Structure 1
Amino acid sequence: MLIRIIRDYLRPYQGLVVVLVALQLVGTMASLYLPSLNGKIIDLGVAKGDTGFIVRTGGWMLAVSLVQIVATVAATYLGAKSAAGLGRDLRAGIFARVGDFSAQEVSRFGAPTLISRNTNDVTQVQTVVFMGAAMMVSAPIMMVGGIIMALREDVGLSWLVAVAVPALALSVALVIRRMIPQFRLMQESVDWVNRVLREQITGIRVVRAFVREEHEEARFGEANTQYTGTALAVGRLMAMIFPIVMLIFNASTVAVLWFGSHRVENGQMQIGELTAFMSYLMQILMSVMMATFMSMMIPRATVSAGRITEVLDTDSTVVQPTAPVAIPRTGTTVELRDVEFCYPGADVPVLQGVSMTAEPGRTTAIIGSTGAGKSTLLSLIPRLYDVTGGSVRLGGVDVREAALEDVWSRIGLVPQKPYLFTGTVASNLRYGDSAATDDELWDALRIAQADDFVRAMPQGLDSPIAQGGTNVSGGQRQRLAIARALVAKPEVFLFDDSFSALDLSTDARLRSALRPVTRHTAVIVVAQRVSTIIDADHIVVLDDGKVVGAGRHDELLETCPTYVEIVESQRSAEEAAA
């Protein structure tokens, strides 16, 4: 998974990678050449007192060092640029993929894990790519080159390399093997912490209303404790690596000095050769240690890459047709033909055999008890979900055969839980039409019965709106959401219980103001209150996912017992309240 992501998302940076490898090669070769020059100074210059040789060779060492510095800095810069570009493109790719998800995929993953996958997981992959560009290119070159140069200095001590390198690699590999499952648990713990924190922030009013602060603190404490425990377990394993590395480093140094001193004493090698050999052994072990650092990061990055790939490889159940059919521009009629819908994994369909027609210039209302499938039915029209049986048609065209943008551009949806974005009143309304003028915004606000409280705001249309619209009331959010749909001037209005937070007088005024605007459009209203849909041209009654009645209010009172029961229950509630 990690290799696939790096391969796919580093493709635009192939030129930088080639230059990076070349610079790493130059810098590594320069670093390998320096110990040999230093050994020559000791053996030839110092031993013979040749000051000129020392100056000339020292000049070469300075020049080689300068080349090494320039190459290393340039390679690090290109590595950082490539890694940052990969992270940017990867985040954009995940965002685009999630943007294509239907409500089904979003519900399956959940918002907290999608957020952590696009932030924490991408950061892990980006970091390992940068470290790989800075280390993993030069590490194998340095190790192979160091072995060659060490053998060139003295073959008799080469057995130390054959012992130290495998010992270091094997010791670290055993520790890393135990770290991989812990990294997987760590990423899952991050998801849990994000989920609990998001729930507590979003539902802070409910938490305070029911005095559940201690309970929520305990929930967060449990999630936090698990994450902390996993992180400590990983930290303990990581802490073992450094003592192992230093032990092998120091033991190798002592071994070189011990056995090398005997060879110098026997005249089998020079002091400068011993110094160079020790430097090369340190470079070899250093390259192994660099690979070790990478090895510590690769398991976690691999887990993160798998989580990212899971999102990128998930196809939306709502797909674009290969040969989209255009929806006619005149008189968009909404028609449901024997619609059936079943949520994934559910045993019983939510909707069964639902057929209805909403024509332009007419208001079609959907009413039923809680759980009857009203909101689900409305979600099928803009293809938030796809039907599992039957068909939904706009202007006579099956929505699955039309381009998604064509479907969405015809529909103005006001969801059951209206959501406003961080910005201003104007920026939220212009989600419906980015080119709308201020006069058009005020006209939409007037129809939605929202102009009075917007004018009362200090900055009017430029008044700030907090994330989710938390700085306005529920009724104000609903009216702003209705105004946003009006600004779009769609051919079909879908109101999903959009008047529930309004008082009866405001509800009546809003419905009266909507009639002139919607006289050429199809309007579908989902409502709980009978008073909201009593004047509708056509009322569809749902019960347990099936249509049990259809007609006008007066007709349903005579023909539909379920509708009569709803009317009587609300009338009784009003009488009891009075």
Structure 2
Amino acid sequence: MKLISKYLKPYLWFVVIITFLTIVRGVTELLLPSLLGNFIRDGIDAGNTTVMWKYALIMLAITIVGTAAVILSSYFEARTSTSFGYDLRIAVYEKVNEFSIEELNSFTISSLITRSTQDIQQLQQVTNMSLRMLILQPVLAVGGIIFAIQTHAPLSIVIAVGIISLLLLLTLIFVVSVPKFNVMQQITDQINLVTRETLSGTKVIRAFGGDELQHEKIDKVNKDFYKIGRFINAFMVMTWPFMSVVLGLIGVLILYLGATKYVNINEFGYESLISLNIYATRVIMAFMMMSFMFVMVPRALVSARRIREVLDTEQSIKDPENPILIEKVEDKMVATLDDDKKITFSGSVEFRDVCFQ
């Protein structure tokens, strides 16, 4: 995603702040299950009220710190992503303004409208989600795995099986989604084209009795968009039940195996089993959130490629490196060429009633 990194560079300090706040948020979420286990073991089971108050206050303080980190990071995420979208829109707008008729025809007006609006909006949303999820979820996933292994290594194998299943699903999502999202954006261009034809050529269409033909065009592109949208949505919706089943099975297996084989062995009590189950849920949920990002990333890749095509287009009309200098000498006009050769001619350069506003 070179395009995103290029236009995020001016906001690098914001990204650093977001990363720090997100790590703080992740650490606070990971500390709570361990403290909860200590609260149960050393406080409730032992009947020690002092210890219970101690852990309760520590957990409250950690929760407050985590909440503050969430609020601040959300502010910087929104500011960074909207600024990124603003800069990208300006860049595309300025580039399109420099296009000649040849470049405009090569893209078509409808496609340029889609690229300047929907594609940039898609990249802005992915940037916002990336700043939030692609930093937080890996922290929760890696940290959760480490804490789970420290809590009970043998039972952590169940989490590993769930992770492998989700990784296979993520790979399938990526392979299937990228070509389909590319087709969807092309159909969106066609919808914009037909809509623009209908709105701008209403009088001509009615004058020549082309209403039925125009309706057929609109119906065709709408059906194409419906078919591709139905396939993508159905495919994506089917992935969530699978993830929920994986999450439920992992929780059941950990509780069953822990309660029947490992509880009260080597100081592994029910409080540790509860903490381990929470860590397992954190890890699987982190991968589920990352899978949600993988749903958005393929479409963002298509949008980024389409925007880069606009920004990387070479202009057919360029200002000359050494423009001809024309100046007035006495009553004659003198033009100086590249080889310092001068041409004298009669006439004058004059502007009247010219406005560039």
TM-score of the two chains, using structure 1 as the length reference:
0.57
- Maintained 8 Å contact 1:9/1:90: yes
Query: How far 1:204 moved relative to its partner?
Result: 0.5
What secondary structure is seen at the aligned counterpart in 2 of 1:156?
A: helix
Report Cα offsets for 1:273-300 as digits up to 9, x if no partner.
1111111111111111111011110000
| 63 and 129 in structure 1: CA distance in 2 versus 1, 3 angstrom threshold | same
Q: Is the 8 A contact 2:18 2:76 kept in 1?
A: yes
Q: 1:324 and 2:247 equivalent?
A: no
Aligned pair 1:303/2:273, yes or no?
no
Counterpart Cα distance in 2 of 1:326 and 1:263 = 91
CA drift of 1:196 comes to 0.5
| Partner AA of 2:256 in structure 1 | W
Q: How far, CA to CA, are the matches of 1:328 and 1:139 in structure 2?
A: 66
Cα shift at 1:411: 7.5
Q: Cα gap change, 1:298/1:397 in structure 2, threshold over 3 Å: closer, same or farther?
A: farther
1:445-524 matched pairs, under 5 angstroms: none
Letter aligned with residue 129 of structure 1: T
Contact in 2 for aligned 1:176/1:296 (Cα 8 Å): yes
Where 2:325 maps in the other structure, the secondary structure is coil
Cα distance, 1:72 vs. partner? Answer: 1.3
- Bigger radius of gyration among the two: 1
Distance 1:265 1:108, change over 3 A: closer
Q: What do the CA deviations read for 1:122-147 (whole angstroms, capped 9, x no partner)?
A: 01111111000111011111111111
Match of 2:90 among 89, 92, 99: 92
Note closer, same or farther for the CA distance 1:300–1:246 as it changes in structure 2 (3 Å cut): same
| C-alpha displacement of 1:330 | 8.5
In the TM superposition, what are the counterparts of 1:117-266 in structure 2 within 5 Å?
Answer: 117-266=115-264
Query: Cα offset for 1:173?
Result: 2.0
**In 1, Cα distance between equivalents of 2:60 and 2:218:** 57
Letter in 2 for 1:87: G
Q: Which runs of 5+ in 1 are unaligned?
A: 334-393, 400-408, 413-428, 435-578
Q: Are residues 433 and 284 of structure 1, via their aligned partners in 2, closer, same or farther at CA, if it must alter by over 3 Å?
A: closer
Q: Which amino acid in the other structure matches residue 176 of structure 1? A: F
**2:34 is the counterpart of 1:36:** yes
Seq. identity, %? 31
**Aligned partners of 1:278, 1:225: CA distance in 2, in Å?**
47
How many Å apart are 1:329 and its aligned residue?
A: 6.0
> Could you say if the C-alpha distance between residues 200 and 282 of structure 1 is closer, same or farther in structure 2, counting changes exceeding 3 Å?
same
Q: What is the aligned partner in structure 2 of residue 45 from structure 1?
A: 43
**C-alpha distance in structure 1 between counterparts of 2:81 and 2:105, whole Å:** 31
Whether the aligned pair in 1 keeps the contact of 2:129 and 2:293 (CA below 8 Å) is yes
Cα RMSD for the two superposed structures: 2.2
Specify the SS of the correspondent of 1:328: strand
Which one scores higher on RCO, CA 8 angstroms, separation ≥ 6? 2
Note closer, same or farther for the CA distance 1:180–1:411 as it changes in structure 2 (3 Å cut): farther
Q: CA deviation at 1:213?
A: 1.4
Partner of 1:113: 111
Could you list the per-position Cα deviations for residues 253-273 of structure 1 after superposition, in whole angstroms to 9, with x for gaps in the alignment? 111111111245453411111
Distance 1:156 1:433, change over 3 A: closer
Q: Could you say which residue in structure 2 is the equivalent of 1:286? A: 285
Q: CA deviation at 1:94?
A: 0.6
1:265-284 → structure 2 map (5 Å cutoff) = 265-268=263-266, 269-284=268-283
Give the direction of change, closer, same or farther, for the CA distance of 1:410–1:77 in structure 2 (3 Å limit).
farther
Look up the equivalent residue of 1:148 and give its one-letter code: I
Check the 8 A contact 1:136/1:290 in 2, yes or no. no
- 1:176: how far off? 3.1
Partner SS state of residue 93, structure 2: helix
- Match of 2:322, SS? coil
**Matching of residue 432 in structure 1 with residue 355 in structure 2:** yes
Residues 397 and 270 of structure 1: CA distance in aligned 2, closer, same or farther (over 3 Å): farther
SS class of match (2:45):
helix
Structure with more strand by fraction:
1
Distance in 2 between residues matched to 1:411 and 1:259, nearest whole Å: 89
Tell me the amino acid that sits aligned with residue 327 of structure 2: P
Please tell me whether the aligned partners of residues 172 and 241 of structure 1 are also in contact (alpha carbons under 8 angstroms): no
What is the distance in 2 between the residues matched to 1:37 and 1:173? Answer: 36
| 2:73 corresponds to | 75
Q: Which has the higher helix share?
A: 2
How far apart in 2 are the matches of 1:238 and 1:207?
Answer: 40
Query: In the TM superposition, what is the alpha-carbon distance from 1:61 to its structure 2 partner?
Result: 0.7
Deviation at 1:6, TM superposition (A): 1.1
Change (3 A) 1:102 1:40: same
Alpha-carbon distance between aligned partners in 1 of 2:298 and 2:184, rounded to the nearest angstrom: 12
Output the CA distance in 2 between the equivalents of 1:300 and 1:397.
53
Q: What CA deviation, in whole Å up to 9, does each residue of 1:191-233 have, x standing for no partner? A: 0000010011110000111222122111111011111111111
Q: What 5-or-longer segments of structure 2 have no aligned partner?
A: 339-348
- 8 A Cα contact 2:324 2:335, kept in partner: no
What are the superposed Cα offsets for residues 137-179 of structure 1, whole Å, 9 maximum, x if unpaired? Answer: 1111111111111111111212112211111121232133111
